[in-house]
Amino acid sequence: MGAGAPHSARPMILCTLDVMVWRAIKNALAGLITGLAGGILLLGLLVIWGSALISLVDGPGGWEHATLYVAAVVLIPVVLPWLVQGLTSLQRSRLLATLDIEIVPARTTGRASWSAGPWLATGTWRQLGYHVLALPAGIGAALLAFLFPVFPGLARWSIKTDERLARKLLGPTRRERLAERVESLARSRADLVAAADAERRRIERDLHDGAQQRLVSLAMNLGMARERFESEPEPVREALAAAHDEAMLALTELREFIRGLHPAVLSDRGLDAALSGLAARAPLPIRLRVDVSEPAAPGVEAVAYFIVSEAITNVVKHAQATRAEVAVTRVGSRDGDVLRLTVTDDGRGGAAAGGGDGTGLRGLTQRAAAVDGTLTIDSPPGGPTTITAELPCES
């Protein structure tokens, strides 16, 4: 019942009333009905529960009576949270119908604590408070409603107060809203990471099936031409040799690029196999130790691979190291298993996460953070440097 079609909705005699005032009156009346219903229900239950309790303590004997009293004393508190929920949805529908206000229940956290125990759910007590208040408030608002046409300010105030109270007591708390927000942010970030990962795999596949095969074929044809025209004049041979060499170079560069996107062996054979290839290709000796009982989530393994890869690149570029060591272990922690990566080198140290030549290292920290992991760098001047990353195995 929006402001768009107010005339058809109200009796002729009220035609002169302001839309807002009319709405406040309707709301006060609806609030009176719901408040009375809820209040009487709760009061009634309170009376029944109280008298059952008193009767149990010093009431007339007889086991039939005692059973009845015990049942009432036990059952009422047990079903009350569900009654409170029912009343809450009634009030929510009233607010939506008369004021067009939507009070969204606390989604995830609310439900989680509800399953832990209805009385422990954060919302239950606040909602009960609202329903207790709703009876006197409903009566008060209904009485004041007679003054609304005269004092529109009062009408506005009643709507505002009703809304504020409902939001405070029937909606999610600030903490619940934040928790929900954090959860949705974490989910959307995980989705983004997964999407980026999938995209890299797709590009890798496309390049592998397309450009890479074509380039191998080109290089092979040039190689054959080079063999066949060995007796041609010098310039021809030179041109062919240059073209062949360049094709080989392009092939090598493309392969490195594609491997940097997403190493196929990582999907096929896992982190261990992918890292051993990485260690073998490094221009300095790397001792590799991988002790992972079961693989982590694919996205996490990809991040782990790239962190080790980038860390080794950094060692090669900046550390002036003679050797490096990479260890990957899966260790248990309070919040589930984590993949712990350490990359140690015997170089000159002095590496830092930010600024200077540390851009690569900053990238590593971001990579780790993208899957809720942490990365620390210990690199005193003079070395040795140790980079430790911990990534939650499930993302």
Partner 1 sequence: MRIVIAEDSVLLRDGLTRMLTAGGFEVVAAVPDAAELLKAVAEHRPELAVIDVRMPPTHTDEGIKAALVIRRQFPDVALLVLSQYVEESYATDLLSEATSSVGYLLKDRVAHVRDFQDAVRRVAAGGTALDPEVVAQLLVRRRDNPMDRLTPREEQVLRLMAEGRSNAGIMEILKVSPSAVEKYVTNIFLKLDLPPTGTDHRRVLAVLKYLGS
* Contacting residues toward partner 1, per CB under 8 A: 205, 208-209, 212-214, 216-217, 219-224, 226-228, 244, 247-248, 251-252, 255, 259, 263-265, 267-269, 272-273, 276-277, 279-281, 286, 288
Q: Which is nearer to partner 1, 10 or 237 (CB)?
A: 237
The DSSP 8-state label assigned to residue 145 in this structure reads G
The nearer residue to partner 1, 141 or 274, going by C-beta atoms, is 274
Grouping H, G, I as helix, E, B as strand and the rest as coil, residue 355 is coil
Q: Considering the complex, state which of residue 100 and residue 199 has its C-beta at the smaller distance from partner 1.
A: 199
* Beta carbon nearer to partner 1, 45 or 261: 261
CA angle 32–34–35, rounded 5-degree value? 60
Least distance CB 345 / partner 1 (angstroms): 16
Residue with smaller CB distance to partner 1, 149 or 223: 223
Check if the beta carbon of residue 301 is closer than 8 Å to that of residue 266. Answer: yes
Strand order in the sheet with 324-331: 286-291, 324-331, 338-345, 385-392, 374-378
Residue 78 CB, shortest distance to partner 1, in Å, is 55
Residues 362 and 297 sit within 8 Å (Cβ to Cβ): no
| Residue 186 neighbours by CB distance under 10 Å | 12
Given a contact cutoff of 8 angstroms between Cβ atoms, the answer to whether 328 and 304 are in contact is yes
Nearer to partner 1, 48 or 249 (CB): 249
Residues in contact with 200: Cβ distance below 8 Å, sequence separation at least 6, in sequence order: 261, 262, 302
Smallest separation (angstroms) from partner 1 to the CB of 230: 10
Q: In whole angstroms, how close is the CB of 123 to partner 1 at the nearest point?
A: 50
Contacts of 303 (CB under 8 A, 6+ apart): 193, 367, 368, 370, 371, 373, 391
Backbone torsions φ then ψ of 320, nearest 5 degrees: 50, 45
Return the number of the residue (6 or 260) whose C-beta is nearest partner 1: 260
251 touches 218 (CB < 8 A): no
| Nearest distance in Å: CB 221, partner 1 | 7
How many angstroms separate the CA atoms of 181 and 183, rounded? 5
Distance in Å, CB of 212 to partner 1, minimum: 6
Q: Minimum distance between the CB of residue 388 and partner 1, rounded to whole angstroms?
A: 22
